[in-house]
Structure formats: C-alpha cells, structure tokens
Amino acid sequence: MLGWKLLFHIGNFSRLEVWSRQPKADSSLDGRGEWGSVFARIYRHEKDMATQIVRREEEVATLIAAGQALTDGVVLLDENYQIIFCNTTAEMQLGLVIHSDRGQPIINLVRQPEFVDYLQAGDFSRPLTMRFERNEDRVLSIHVLPYSDSRRLMQVKDVTQTDRLDRMRRDFVANVSHELRTPLTVLSGFLETLQEFEVDRDERSRYLALMSEQSSRMLSIVQDLLTLSSIESAPPPDTEPVDMISLLDKLRRDAEALSAGRHSIVVESDGQGDLRGSEPELVSAFTNLVANAVRYTPAGGTIRLSWKAGLQGAEFAVQDTGIGIDSKHIPRLTERFYRVDRGRSRDAGGTGLGLAIVKHSLSRHQAQLEIKSTPGVGSRFAAKFPASRVAGIQ
Ligand code: ADP
C-alpha cells in the first residue's frame, strides 16, 4: 500500500519535473488526487501569468505605436546615452536605424559637434537648435528630458519651416528699414542744408524737387507694402466675373499714360471670356506687369497686352521688347525687394515689391506666373488662370 502511494507521488512529481523544464499553460499537466489540485493551481497561475504577459505585450505594442504616431522624433536613451528605442520620425530625422542601432551610444551615430557638445555638457535647460549636417535643408530643435532616474527622452522637432519664416521676417524688416532709410537720409540732408545755409532760388527749387522725388519714393514703398499686407489679410477673392474688355481698356490707358508716347502699346484680345475674382487685386497685379514693361523697355519699343480665354483656362500676358532678364534672376524675381539692377529700378520709380504683389494676387486666384525673358530682346510675363476662374465661355 505504502509502496503504491510512494510510486504514485514519484510518478506525479516526475511529471511536474518534466513539465517545469518547459512550462506551458495547457492541460499537459494533469494529475489525480491531491496532485490534481496542486497541478490545477499551478496551471491557473501559469494561465494568469500568460494572460498578463499577453496584456503587457499589447500595452507595450500600443505605447510603441503611439510613439511611432508622433510627428516629433523620440529617442529613449540610457544613462550612457545608448539608444533604447527611437520612433520612425527620429530614424528619418537623424538617419538612425533602430534594428541595428539599438544599444549604440547616440553620439557615435550623430557626430555633429554641437550635438555631441550639447549631450556631453548635460545642461538641458534649453533645447539645441541646429542645421543638420547630413541634410542641410533641415533645421532640428532637440530637447532632452530626464526620466526614470538616469534615462533620457530626446524629443526632436523639425523647425525648418518656423526657422525659414523667422528668417524671412527678419530679412523683411531689415529690407524695409533699408529701403526707407535711403530716401529719408537724402531728405534730412537737404533739410539740414536748407536750414543752415543761404541758398539761392534756383538751388532751393532744385533741392525741393529732389526732396519731393524722395518723398514720393517713400510713399510708393509704403503704398506697395500696404497693398501686400491688405492682400495677405483679405478673405479669399470673389468669384464674381470681372469684365475683361473694360479691364483691358483701363490697362491700355494706364500703359499709355506711363509711357507718355515713348512706346507703342498693342492690345490683343478676341473679347471672349471674363475672369472670376477680386477686381482690385487683378487690376493691381496686371497694372504692375504693365508698369514694369514700360519701366524696363527703352523708348521706341513695343508693349503687347494679350488676353485669351478658353474651356481649359485663360491667360493674360504682357510682352515687351525691353532690356530682358538673365535667366539666373528669374526664380527670385517675385521675392520682396529683389531687383536685377537696384539703381535702374529706383531711377525708374520701382519699389522692388511689384512682382511680389503680382505673385500673391495670382496665387489667391489659383493662377501661375510664367516668366520668359531674353536679355536684350524682351520679356513675357503671363498669368495663367485655371478654368474655374473663367466665366462666359461656352
Ligand atoms: P521693381 O519695382 O524694381 O520693378 P518688381 O518686383 O516689379 O520690382 O520687379 C523686380 C525686378 O524684376 C525689377 O527690379 C527688374 O529688375 C525685373 N523686371 C521686372 N519686370 C521686368 C521687365 N518687364 N523687363 C525687365 N526686367 C524686369
């Protein structure tokens, strides 16, 4: 009897021993008598553990998925700045590959000196902003946050766009100040001369003429700036049709007035179709193109205004036989205050803002500005409108 009992225990024990080498929460652990309830408890415990592990794995997977969904880069580092985890955004931003780079010190992989210095200095009260050496077009802002004692979470933001806007704003303020300072310096110089010295009548009227020229120049700059800012802050333009026949007529009269008989002005249009949009913005854009054609075409030249509308869209163009533009300048012409020849633009009454106004008004009408030019031969500026902006075409 005792022998049988002993055999029974040894048998169950050896099954437990075998099972424990590769424990599985399944019915492979089966026993009878008091061993049955022991095995059942072990089995339940194993099953709970397995469920908990699955749940934990799911939680970790959800956390990783959340980390992957972040638009900012995230890198988790241990106390030696070795990579524990990084999301796909950080992989792209910093050129990391998590599968092979896990466990590597990040400064062995991102070796840019300011980054290495920033990590080694260990003062993370401020983020590090750096232009990334491996991709010069990108500007990254790196923030390191300590967590869980000695670990660090590194957050990487791509601030390229904000940096560009900041730079544009700074350049713009510098440009405006520079543009206004020049005429103001001339004005105040003449004022001082008139106040301090006796000048004869002729001299005085010459000074006054120059002063009036400078103040008109400042006025033009301020007017163009106001036009730009009102276009920028205006609601999207109307879709009411603007009568192109009377608009072309007005542009022709403006061109003739500006040219004062120095050029021949030609209008080419079959009178078909109108534009849907804001009349003041279209007038402002087209007048700037016409004024430039007059400004940069020597006397005796021809300025051709053309309008063509069809089912596919419409085109308003101004073609001149003027000085033309070297192709290297063309991509930059619509930048604020960009001029090919500053002196020539100034002498001709330009502000350097005309084409910026044109581009802005056109883009609000979903139109493109196409510039073709040959130095010494002439230029063609064409505003191309999509079909949605054209009215009155069957
Ligand atoms: P500006 O007030 O100086 O004319 P714009 O923004 O209207 O400024 O034009 C920018 C520059 O583009 C001008 O300074 C000039 O160098 C060049 N440009 C514009 N239109 C013409 C044209 N029709 N022919 C030659 N150059 C032109």
Per-residue pLDDT tens over the stretch 78-108: 999 999 999 999 999 999 999 999 999 999 9
Q: Is the CB of 357 under 6 A from ligand 1?
A: no
Task: Say how many Å lie between the first and final Cα of the chain, rounded.
Answer: 109
The confidence score (pLDDT) of residue 35 equals 84
Q: Which atom of ligand 1 is nearest to the CA of 357?
A: 6
The confidence score (pLDDT) of residue 60 equals 87
Half-sphere exposure of 107 (CA within 13 A, CB side): 13
CA 40–ligand 1 middle distance (angstroms): 89
Between CA 17 and CA 19 the distance in angstroms is 5
Between CA 205 and CA 262 the distance in angstroms is 28
Q: Is the CB of 382 under 6 A from ligand 1?
A: no
Between CA 89 and CA 63 the distance in angstroms is 15
Query: pLDDT tens digits, residue range 30-81?
Result: 777 788 888 888 888 888 988 999 999 999 889 888 888 888 999 999 999 9
Of 251, 218, 230, nearest to 351 by C-alpha is 218
CATH code for the domain defined by 70-158: 3.30.450.20
Mutate-to-test residue for ligand 1 from 227, 339, 341, 371, highest number of ligand atoms within 8 A of CB = 339
Q: Where are the domains of the chain?
A: 18-64, 70-158, 162-233, 241-391
Query: pLDDT tens digits, residue range 188-242?
Result: 999 999 999 988 999 999 999 999 999 999 999 999 999 999 998 889 998 999 9
CA 339–ligand 1 middle distance (angstroms): 6
DSSP symbols for 328-361 = GGGGGTTSTT--SSHHHHHHTT--S-HHHHHHHH
Mutate-to-test residue for ligand 1 from 355, 361, 369, highest number of ligand atoms within 8 A of CB = 355
Neighbours of 212 (CB within 10 A): 11
Between CA 89 and CA 69 the distance in angstroms is 9
Query: Of the given ranges (102-111, 170-179, 255-264), which has the lowest mean pLDDT?
Result: 170-179
For residues 355 and 227, the answer to whether their CB atoms sit within 8 Å is no
CA dihedral 269, 273, 277, 282 (to 10 degrees): 0
Q: Are domains 162-233 and 241-391 of this chain identical in fold? A: no
Query: pLDDT tens digits, residue range 116-167?
Result: 999 999 999 999 999 988 877 899 999 999 988 789 999 999 999 999 999 9
For residues 348 and 361, the answer to whether their CB atoms sit within 8 Å is no
| pTM score, whole prediction | 0.70
Q: Which residues contact 64 (CB under 8 A, 6 or more apart)?
A: 85
- Paired sense of beta strands 274-276 and 241-242, if any: antiparallel
Q: For the purposes of burial, counting CB atoms within 10 Å of the CB of 152, is it exposed (0-12), middle (13-18) or buried (19 or more)?
A: buried
Of 305, 315, 322, nearest to 265 by C-alpha is 305
Superfamily name with CATH number, domain 241-391 = Histidine kinase-like ATPase, C-terminal domain (3.30.565.10)
* Region of residue 220 (left: phi > 0; alpha: psi -120 to 50; beta: else): alpha
CATH code for the domain defined by 162-233: 1.10.287.130
Between CA 381 and CA 288 the distance in angstroms is 11
How confident is the model over 362-375, as a mean pLDDT? 97
Q: Is the CB of 341 under 6 A from ligand 1?
A: yes
